[in-house]
Amino acid sequence: MKNIMVCYVILGLILGSCQESSFVPKPRGFNRIDLPRHEYTPILGSYPYRFEHSRHASIERDSSWMSEPYWIHLNYRDLGADVQLTYKALENDQQKLRELLDDAYRLTTKHQIKAYSIDESIMITPNGHQAVLAELSGEVPSQFQFYSTDSTQHFLRGALYFPTATQNDSLAPIIDFIKVDIVHLLNTLEWTQ
**Tens-place pLDDT, residues 123-156:** 998 888 899 999 988 778 888 999 999 999 999 9
Distance CA 100, CA 104 (A): 6
Distance CA 55, CA 39 (A): 6
Q: Considering only CA atoms, which of 58, 71, 57 is closest in space to residue 180?
A: 57
* Domains parsed from the chain with CATH numbers: 60-191 (3.40.1000)
The answer to whether the CB of 43 falls within 8 A of the CB of 59 is yes
Confidence class for position 4, pLDDT limits 50, 70, 90: confident
pTM of the model as a whole: 0.80
**Tens-place pLDDT, residues 23-60:** 666 666 656 678 999 999 999 999 999 999 999 999 99
**In angstroms, what CA-CA distances link 101 with 88, 104, 151?**
11, 5, 10
